Amino acid sequence: MQVKNIILEKKKHIAVITFDHPPANTWNLAALREFERAIDAVAQDLSTRVLILTGAGEKCFSAGYDLKDAANASEISPLARSLWEKIIDRFEKPFVAAINGHALGGDLELAMACHFRIMADVPTAKLGLTELNLGLIPGWDVLWRRT
């Protein structure tokens, strides 16, 4: 499956989702919807035993929320929270974040939601919740859980 922002590949029993939304692999509404379809496809594929998520390119795993798509914020945040919860609570296969560069904001939350996180040896790569610099709290529900 290859669409505008998500590439889903399968190699034997391993599914790999590559997030490809240049220049910094940020999440907008279209990317989240494509990601949801990819996750659902992997969940339904009985031969897939593990899912790996990585970012395209060498600089960023992802820089989080796409501020250019702020007009869709009322749809983006609930969808992102739902997807991250699906990964944390309900995904039956191991979900691995292969962090290949910067992981910032909501995407650091995504990496934290995965069962396993592996980071490439990139000395310049940064991990951070950049929304704190804007006076915002991380909003995609990984740092706290609703009961």
Catalytic residue among 9, 85, 92, 131: 131
Gap between the Cα atoms of 84 and 91, Å rounded: 10
**102 strand-pairing partners:** 60
Burial category of 42 from C-beta neighbours within 10 Å (exposed 0-12, middle 13-18, buried 19 and up): buried
Active site residue 34: no
How far is the C-alpha of 5 from the C-alpha of 128, rounded, in Å? Answer: 23
Q: Note if 58 is an active site residue.
A: no
End-to-end CA distance of the chain: 35
9, 36, 58, 109: which one is catalytic?
Answer: 109
- The closest of 35, 71, 58, 55 to 108, measured between CA atoms, is 55
Positions annotated as catalytic residues are: 109, 131
